[in-house]
């Protein structure tokens, strides 16, 4: 279920054989949480998928396809780890836990990485070991990563529906993310009917941090209002 949640096509082929994962009471909550996680991440996933459509950048990337993981950069990532952890867009590293595992190793790329759930520092270009938990998929956000989320829901938004957007900011590095949206129904985006919104965090002269949203291209926009959650405490200088 953790792997399906972070796949290009989140599909579970379990309808006909009676082994639907949510039919087992001991894991029902964890399965439901994973499905909700997928739905909450739709604005992020839609935006990184737009990068694929317009710029050819895969939204789900094997670690050895990430520039910083190349051996020429001095970073060594084992083949074993490259097979079961991967990037989702530029900001999110997913490391699913598999059946029977009590813990797993995660190899972080250079730079500071933060726990998705807590905003706490997880590591800095190093190998970490995380305890396995049914209800918590190991997820890490790079320093300066912005993750736009909607509220948890069972179905995708209907065309024309407007949803509140929460933007989570991780770390202390300058943060920027281009949010993509279209009508969610037609191919009019090919004719230019889509919106681009630059999300960014700003620190003023007094050290106060705030989020800003700048319209880069006007078009269909499903998100309003936009709120900001700073997951990581501002580092003292």
Could you state, in chain order, the average pLDDT of each consecutive group of 10 residues for the chain (237 residues)? 86 74 85 92 96 92 71 49 84 90 90 96 93 87 96 87 96 92 94 97 83 96 96 71
What is the model's pLDDT at position 68? 58
Scored b (16 or more CB within 10 A) or e, 71-87 reads eeeebebeeebbebbbb
Task: State whether 42 and 89 are in the same domain.
Answer: yes
Q: Tell me whether residue 235 is in a domain.
A: no
What is the model's pLDDT at position 124? 94
Task: State whether 32 and 131 are in the same domain.
Answer: yes
Q: What's the total number of domains in the chain? A: 2
Dihedral pair phi/psi, residue 199, rounded to 5°: -95, 130
Q: Tell me whether residue 111 is in a domain.
A: yes
Q: Tell me whether residue 15 is in a domain.
A: no
Q: 10 Å Cβ neighbour count for 211?
A: 17
Task: State whether 137 and 63 are in the same domain.
Answer: yes
Task: State whether 138 and 181 are in the same domain.
Answer: no
> How far apart are the C-alpha atoms of 97 and 105, rounded to whole Å?
10
Q: Tell me whether residue 237 is in a domain.
A: no
3-state secondary structure the chain: CHHHHCCCCCCCCCCCCCCCHHHCCCCHHHHHHHHHHHHHCHHHHHHHHHHHHHHCCCCEEEHHHCHHHCHHHCCCCCHHHHHHCEEECCCEEECCCCCCCCEEEEECCCCEEEECCCCCEEEECCEEEEECCCCCCCEEEECCCEEEECCCCCCCCCCCCCEEEEEEECCCCCCEEEEEECCCCCCHHHHCCCEEEEEEEEECCCCCEEEEEEEEECCCCCEEEEEEEECCCCCCC
CATH assignment of the domain containing 103: 2.60.40.1180
Q: Tell me whether residue 100 is in a domain.
A: yes
Task: State whether 27 and 124 are in the same domain.
Answer: yes
Helices 42-55 and 28-40: crossing angle, nearest 10°?
50
Of 118, 142, 166, which residue sits at a domain end?
Answer: 142
Domain region containing 89: 2-9+21-142
Of 88, 112, 142, which residue sits at a domain end?
Answer: 142
What is the model's pLDDT at position 207? 74
What is the model's pLDDT at position 10? 84
Q: Tell me whether residue 16 is in a domain.
A: no
Task: State whether 221 and 176 are in the same domain.
Answer: yes
Task: State whether 134 and 46 are in the same domain.
Answer: yes
């Amino acid at each position: 279920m953790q792997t399906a949640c972070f796949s290009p096509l989140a599909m579970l082929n379990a309808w006909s054989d009676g082994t639907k994962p949510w039919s087992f009471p001991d894991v029902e909550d964890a399965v439901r949480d994973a499905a909700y996680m997928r739905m909450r991440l739709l604005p992020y996933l839609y935006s990184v998928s737009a990068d694929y459509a317009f710029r050819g950048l895969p939204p789900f990337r094997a670690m050895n396809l990430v520039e910083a993981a190349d051996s020429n950069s001095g970073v060594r990532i084992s083949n074993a780890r490259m097979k079961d952890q991967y990037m989702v867009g530029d900001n999110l590293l997913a490391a699913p836990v598999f059946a029977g595992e009590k813990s797993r190793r995660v190899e972080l790329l250079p730079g500071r990485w933060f726990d998705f759930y807590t905003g706490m520092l997880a590591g800095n270009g190093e190998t970490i070991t995380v305890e396995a938990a049914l209800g918590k998929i190991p997820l890490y956000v790079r320093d300066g990563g912005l993750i736009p989320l909607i509220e948890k829901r069972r179905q995708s938004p209907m065309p024309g529906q407007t949803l509140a957007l929460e933007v989570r900011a991780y770390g202390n590095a300058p943060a920027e993310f281009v949010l993509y949206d279209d009508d969610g129904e037609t191919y009019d985006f090919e004719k230019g009917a889509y919106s681009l919104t630059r999300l960014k965090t700003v620190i003023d002269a007094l050290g106060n941090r705030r989020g800003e949203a700048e319209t880069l291209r006007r078009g269909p926009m499903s998100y309003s209002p936009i709120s900001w959650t700073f997951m990581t405490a501002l580092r003292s200088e």
